[in-house]
């Protein structure tokens, strides 16, 4: 395991060689990864996971990923099919960019906020996740969160996949 003092000396490329349980920086309050069964149910392959931990997550079917080092918000998503489970501490800019990209699936916390209302109004399909949803924490353990979550889709293929997934009632 890499200590914090050693991590400071590492460069971005070196961080890509860690096993899941050794991912540095995967220990913040925002590090809750979508469980594999969600991707199995969707049956999609994504071009980009836009809010990934260093090294990616093995069960997320994405051809590439952006980490906090890459700053997914600063990257050009270019209309690519994206998977997005953004930091729940600051979802607004992620939701805006996801809607602007208009191709993908996202998992976010439900709330009475303006960004969530915008997502609700502008996405093409949305469903509440099961209330007992268990994420995978940054420590590799199952962990629930106190907020209800939704999965939303934009783009015809993504909407069709969400409707066929059986995850929940899709609006």
pTM: 0.82
Residues 6 or more apart whose CB falls under 8 angstroms from that of 35 comprise 133, 134, 135, 136, 142
- Write the CATH number of the domain with boundaries 4-164: 3.40.50
pLDDT tens for each residue of the chain, 171 residues long: 333 333 222 223 333 333 444 444 444 557 889 999 999 999 999 999 999 999 999 999 999 999 999 999 999 999 999 999 999 999 999 999 999 999 999 999 999 999 999 999 999 999 999 999 999 988 888 988 889 999 999 999 999 999 999 999 999
- Return d(Cα 169, Cα 171) in angstroms, integer: 7
What pLDDT, on a 0 to 100 scale, did the predictor assign at position 125? 98
Q: How many CA atoms lie within 13 A of 164 on its CB side?
A: 11
């Amino acid at each position: 395991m890499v200590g914090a003092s050693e991590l400071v000396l590492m460069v971005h490329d070196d961080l890509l060689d860690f096993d899941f349980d050794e991912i540095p920086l995967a220990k913040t309050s925002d590090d809750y990864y979508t469980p594999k069964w969600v991707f199995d149910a969707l049956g999609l392959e994504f071009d980009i996971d836009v809010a990934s931990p260093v090294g990616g997550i093995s069960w997320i079917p994405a051809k590439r990923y952006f980490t906090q080092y890459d700053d997914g918000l600063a990257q050009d998503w270019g209309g690519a099919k994206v998977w997005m489970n953004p930091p729940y501490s600051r979802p607004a800019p992620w939701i805006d960019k996801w809607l602007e990209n208009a191709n993908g699936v996202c998992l976010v916390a439900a709330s009475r906020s303006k960004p969530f209302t915008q997502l609700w109004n502008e996405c093409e399909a949305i469903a509440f996740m099961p209330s007992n949803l268990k994420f995978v924490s940054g420590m590799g353990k199952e962990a629930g969160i106190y907020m209800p979550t939704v999965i939303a889709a934009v783009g015809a293929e993504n909407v069709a996949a969400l409707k066929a997934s059986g995850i929940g009632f899709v609006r």
